[in-house]
Structure 1
Amino acid sequence: MRYHEMSPQELLVAGNHAPEINDVPWLVRWDEVRDPEATVARLLPETVEFHTSGTTGPEEAWVRTAEQLWDEAGLLAGLIAPRRPDAVLACAPARHLFGALATVLLPARLRVPAWYRPQYYGAMPQAGRRRWAVVGVPWTFSVLLRHSEWVRAAEQVTVLHSTAMLPTAAARLVQTEGADQVSVTEVFGSTETGGVASRVWGPDDPLWELLPDVRPAWGEPDATGEVLLAVSSPRLAHRPGLPHPASHRTDDYIRAGADHRFRFSGRRGRLVKVNGRRVNLDELERLLRDVVHCADLACLPVTDPVSGENLDLLVVPAPGEELVGGDVRAVLATAGLVVRPRRVHVVDRIDRSDTGKLRRVQPPLPTRAGA
């Protein structure tokens, strides 16, 4: 894969005016810039507008200041600095907040070169670097599994991930290569809040810890012991033309713990109650990916005239293979699932954002034999 060597000036100017920088590989030598902070301060606009992914409704604009962005990039750098990365391989598109922070500004904070890889296929950078930070989106983990020789040639690989629940490939990567070789640092946040909390992934599902400048603003839990995550932070975004909010309440249910820690229960739009049992669709998808052989799958919440809420399963066949709903249902019947999908739809594709999030409104679902 050839990388276009782009100066920091070109990157920051193009990033504000030309979305095509998200579609071609490039290399930026932040390690050769005398004063990255001054360069960013000179070229980054006073305010930058980002849009929500549109997975649950229309996209919304949220504004952040250049100071907020630089400060948050510093927080992200602090999360991975203990592993002393000397290069960044980034896969998160710069048009979204996480990509702007981790793909563009994080390497400036670390003062290391950054290779940007926008696609699943292609060669890995061969730069003689030993300690890599990888800015990941969900498909990144499959790429690293496919290029195990690249991972093993490094002294350490630290993956920084946000925007979506980790795929099962992440656990396989850490288990295959070992936690000393590969670690995964997760960042919990949104376009509206920026980064809220972080953790280093582990098989025991560790608690999330609020970032240093974030304070809890949630109230008392409900009868189930859960509460919607609400926080205050100097990095909260604001809507165009409106003042900075004092706090922001998200759609994420949590179980609050001590010392500003919490356990994530699920997103409001990804929780359904089927016959009295609450189901986290993100968790169910993780289980299904281990038993259903396919190119992609997703659980879609639906209304049901009998149960009120239910879920359908969308499945994309693996390349060159035939698949019908009856085949999938036969597999599910032996998987020991507490809740099974109401219907199985075999589809050509699943509509997702470019960071892997499922869009709530999907293309019209075909009716196939056996579905």
Structure 2
Amino acid sequence: MTDSLQQHLVVTVIGDIIADELARMRPAESEHWKRRQWHDDDTLVAKHKSTKDSGEDEVAVDSLERLALAGRVVQFFHMGDSGVEDYLLRRNTLSEWAEVILKSRQVHTQNLTVTTSGSTGQPKACEHSWSALVEEVKDFVRIFENDYELSPARVVALVPSHHIYGFLFTVLLPHLIDAPVLRGFKAYSHVRNGGLRAGDVVVGFPELLTQLSSEMLPLPPGVLFISSAGACPASTFHQLYSIGAARVVEIYGSSETAGIGYRSKPESNYRLLSRWRRNTENSQQLIDRQTKGIFEIPDNTQWHAECEFHVAGRVDKAVSVRGINVFPNHIAKYLRQHPAIADATVRPMRPDEGHGLKAFVVLHESLSETITEQSVQTWLSSNLSTAEIPERINFGNQLPRNSMGKAQDWNLDNSPTGKPLS
């Protein structure tokens, strides 16, 4: 198997990038685009040429949207200055776009650039060496086969492919081991309804795996679960093991670094991947053994050995919602820009409340109009992603604080003391 990507995997990544960009540009259609499955013959057509009889394989976009979609693809596959990137604007099907991308990778570079969620403002572009990503996945294959005595045979993808974690394990892993991939609702159905088989690698994120673990049937031998994009609850680990998981592997990393460490028990420390060594002069930094480049660790870490550490809390205060890192402080800051809102705070829901975010809002005293939970959520949807929009909003005369004046949590079932909820 060569390190040059297979075309059908490139099509998958293109589709996920297009879905992500269309969801950003058309917030009201966000869920539609993120549920869509993409194929080689899916075609981008000009909106003015779209008709009621257009097939399901046609996606109508205007000229500015097409430019934005091509720009995202050029950025991800690091096609700038390749000399072939302009051909994306002259081709229409995803398979034709994939051909242009593969040509660019032959004549220019195979490196990739993923972006962070952008929840703190502008998304951050993070370039990755193709050879480093390949070596990381090969490292994990060795860990799976040698340490865990598992041979991956099929990938069941519950995450999109254009984020670094999804790319590594739902694109690069099946590419390197020549394994088939299940995606979308078909993948979800196989996990939930007893369709898994020995050799399956289920690639998920904490919230979804937590939900599925209580609904799944007993597992056949040899099923491996991988989780990332946030801390996986210990109870989810134990539940997956109780129904027969051969191994549950939690991977720690970031968009900037790709994988950093891994563990297969919630009470264990993370073990550092072979690519990295700890910077002895700064415990919050890693050094790439090959390039000698220095990378910041996104969380506060405590080291217990040269290659073992545990995470003591995020530096950037991000939380994971449906596998996407979002920043409550940034969302609260954005809420305060609403003309009716005087102050706001945002927190992740407690496990007994749900899996998203909640907000507490204080309205201006002089406000005469009625502001509802739904109207605030609709206002937020014009600029924030679905994962960033609080699922519940409480209203009150002041933000929740304890007797010492410090911010504290609140219950969702409290009766609001400000303007009425919808």
TM over 0.5: same fold? Answer: yes
In 1, are the aligned partners of 2:348 and 2:356 still within 8 Å (CA)?
no
Q: Offset at 1:199?
A: 1.1
Q: Larger strand proportion, structure 1 or 2?
A: 1
Structure 1 distance, partners of 2:354, 2:264, is: 28
| Closer, same or farther: CA 245–139 of 1 in aligned 2, 3 Å | same
CA contact (8 A) 1:103 1:135 kept: yes
> Which residue number in structure 2 is paired with residue 96 of structure 1?
163
Match of 1:11 among 6, 9, 16: 9
Selected match of 1:155 from 218, 221, 224: 221
Structure 1 residues 254 and 171, CA, compared in 2 at 3 Å: closer, same or farther?
A: same
**Letter paired with 1:173:** Q
Aligned to 1:246: 293
1:232-311 matches, cutoff 5 A: 232-233=287-288, 246-270=293-317, 288-289=350-351, 292=352, 294-298=353-357
Greater relative CO, 1 or 2 (CA 8 Å, sep 6+): 1
Partner AA of 1:134 in structure 2: V
How many corresponding residue pairs? 276
Query: 1:247: Cα distance to partner?
Result: 0.7
Q: Using a 3 Å threshold, how does the CA distance of structure 1 residues 157 and 301 change in structure 2: closer, same or farther?
A: farther
CA drift of 1:300 comes to 7.9
Conserved in 2, the CA contact under 8 Å of 1:297 and 1:315? yes
Q: Structure 1: which amino acid aligns with 2:229?
A: T
- Give the aligned partner of residue 193 of structure 1: 257
CA distance in 2, matches of 1:119, 1:301: 38
User: Is contact 1:315–1:346 with CA below 8 Å preserved after alignment?
Assistant: no
- 1:209 is paired with a residue whose SS is strand
1:137 aligned residue: 205
Mapped partners of 1:366, 1:63: distance in 2: 48
State which of 68, 86, 108 in structure 1 corresponds to 2:132: 68
Residues 343/213 of structure 1: CA separation in 2 closer, same or farther (3 Å cut): closer
Rounded to whole Å, the distance in 2 between the matches of 1:189 and 1:89 is: 21
In 2, distance between residues paired with 1:345 and 1:119? 37
Unpaired segments ≥5 residues, structure 2? 20-33, 41-100, 319-327, 329-346, 362-388, 397-401
What do the CA deviations read for 1:295-343 (whole angstroms, capped 9, x no partner)?
Answer: 33447899xxxxxxxxxxx9746xxxxx9789xxxxxx9xxxxx99535
Residue of 203, 206, 212 corresponding to 2:268: 206
Identity %: 20
Q: Which amino acid aligns with 1:69?
A: L
Helix, strand or coil: the match of 2:9? helix
**Structure 2 contact 395–418 (Cα < 8 Å) conserved:** no
Question: Alpha carbons of 1:89 and 1:48: their partners in 2 closer, same or farther (altered >3 Å)?
Answer: same
User: Is the Cα contact below 8 Å between 1:183 and 1:201 reproduced in 2?
Assistant: no
Distance 1:167 1:368 in 2: 36
CA distance in 1, matches of 2:35, 2:104: 22
- The answer to whether the 8 A contact 2:348-2:357 is kept is no
Does structure 1 retain, via aligned residues, the 8 Å contact 2:154–2:200?
Answer: yes
Correspondence for 1:173 among 225, 239, 245: 239
Greater helix content? 2
Letter of the 2:286 counterpart: V
* Residue 219 in structure 1 maps to residue 287 in structure 2: no
- Which runs of no fewer than 5 residues in structure 1 stay unpaired? 1-6, 29-39, 221-226, 236-243, 272-280, 303-313, 318-322, 327-332, 334-338, 348-364
Per the normalisation by structure 2, the TM-score is 0.53
Deviations 1:61-108 (A, max 9, x none): 111232222222212323323222322111121111111111111122
**1:188-213 CA deviation, whole Å, 9 max, x = no partner?**
111111211111123xx211111112
Q: Which residue of 2 aligns with 1:353?
A: none
Question: Which of these residues, 170, 173, 181, is aligned with residue 114 of structure 1?
Answer: 181
* Aligned residue identity for 1:196: I
Change over 3 Å in CA distance of 1:251–1:66 after alignment to 2 = closer
Residue 230 of structure 1: which of 282, 285, 300 is its match?
Answer: 285
| Alignment check: 8 A CA contact 1:90 1:116 kept | yes
- TM-score using structure 1 length: 0.60
* Superposition deviation, residue 112 in structure 1: 2.2
Structure of larger gyration radius:
2
Question: 1:15, CA displacement in angstroms?
Answer: 2.3
Q: Secondary structure at the match of 1:101?
A: helix
Q: In the alignment, is the contact (CA less than 8 A) between 1:131 and 1:157 conserved in 2?
A: yes
Of 138-147 and 61-70, more deviation after overlay is shown by: 138-147
Q: 1:366 to 1:52 in 2, by over 3 A?
A: farther
CA RMSD of aligned residues (A): 4.6
* 16 and 172 in structure 1: CA distance in 2 versus 1, 3 angstrom threshold: same
Contact kept, 8 Å, 2:214 with 2:239, in 1: the verdict is no
1:141-172, CA deviations, whole angstroms, 9 ceiling, x for partnerless residues?
Answer: 145325422xx242132111122111466235
Residue of structure 2 equivalent to 1:357? none
Question: 1:274 corresponds to which residue?
Answer: none
Alpha carbons of 1:129 and 1:212: their partners in 2 closer, same or farther (altered >3 Å)? Answer: same
